[in-house]
Amino acid sequence: MEYMVALLKEMALVPVTLLPIINPLSIASIFVSSVGTKHDLARLLARQIALNVGWVIIASMLVGTYVLTIFGISLAVVRFGGGLLVAASAWRMLAPRPDTSPTAQETEAAGIADHQLMQRSFYPLTFPLTTGPGVISACITLGAHGESMHPLHFLSGAIVAVGGALMVALVIYLVLRNSIVVVTRLGPSGAVVMQQLVAFVLLCIGIQLVWSGWLDLTAIN
């Protein structure tokens, strides 16, 4: 029973950590600029992006530990570096941005045919707009729990990765699927307020990761 509770806690930690980094509401504005008012296209594209995000999270969490082992990188360093990257992303979100002109990815994604937009569901809409380097770094940190090769350890890690990825993918799908309505109701001011709140939570998560990595490093030394 205790093992199941611990497994569920680790699984819940995946969306709690990744969703503030992904910030689906900020992606929603880019998504709406791409699909316009085409609700059917929004549904299909949202499903494909959610599937892509799920696969990226699962692959990063399951393979990341072995990549670290190959390059001889300790988990403490990954937590410390990943925390810095997450905190830096949050700080950029909190900083005022006077220039509200669309990015190159937004400009490229907008105004193209429906089938071309579906073909670009992975790049740039999934990577790097949704799952950028900060998300992948956090996935590696979440999936890195040691160097044990025991089958039960790998199975539990796979369950956490798949379950957590499904929860994240579901949230992203629901937000993007209803992004046309959400963006319209929030308005520019509401979107800014929501983004600032998410950025603050993300900053706290980044600081917590840095602190955990620092404690591990000092304990090793």
125 close to 53: Cβ distance less than 8 angstroms: no
CA dist 144 → 3, 16, 20 (Å): 18, 17, 20
Alpha helices, H only, the chain: 2-22, 24-35, 39-71, 75-94, 104-109, 114-119, 133-143, 151-177, 179-220
Residue 67 amino acid letter: V
Which residues in the chain land under pLDDT 70?
96-113, 145-150, 188, 191, 194-195, 198, 220-221
User: What are the tokens at 126?
Assistant: 């999934």
Torsion of CA 140, 134, 41, 104, to 10 degrees: -140
Query: What long-range pairs does 105-109 form, CB within 8 A, spacing at least 24?
Result: 105/30, 105/129, 106/30, 106/33, 106/34, 109/30, 109/33, 109/34
49 close to 176: Cβ distance less than 8 angstroms: yes
What's the pLDDT tens digit per position in 149-187?
Answer: 567 777 888 899 999 999 999 999 999 999 888 877 777
Q: What is the pLDDT of residue 98?
A: 54
Name the DSSP class of 188. Answer: H
Phi then psi for 205, rounded to 5 degrees?
-65, -45
Answering whether pTM is above 0.85, one says: no
Q: What is the pLDDT of residue 106?
A: 45
First to last CA, the chain: 36
What's the pLDDT tens digit per position in 20-46?
Answer: 888 887 788 778 877 878 889 999 999
- In the block, tokens 């190959």 appear at 70
